[in-house]
Structure 1
């Protein structure tokens, strides 16, 4: 059995879920849960893209 020299990929799904929850909670506290959800979604997508970029750069070495 041969071992792959490439590192295991990392995932950002937990960051997306956490940002949705945090955004919604902050939105509820300010009286705008839908807006908080949308902001959390935007932040989560940004974090997932950042994780994917780091993963791609880490795997190309």
Structure 2
């Protein structure tokens, strides 16, 4: 019973954190979009952010033990 409740609590917390991170990501993207005027600069910064996440996601997953 404790395992079932623990898994349900984990799912709720995971959903809350993912929604909060998505909201933060949207706010940061909106703020950054207003600060950069040229299209080529937006593409370059987007590529740098994507490249950073490409390397950051496996590191986080490795630290979690997945």
Which structure carries more helix by proportion? 2
Output the TM-score relative to the length of structure 2: 0.45
User: Normalising by the residue count of structure 1, what TM-score does the alignment of the two structures yield?
Assistant: 0.48
Structure label with greater radius of gyration: 2
Structure with bigger RCO (C-alpha 8 Å, 6+ apart): 1
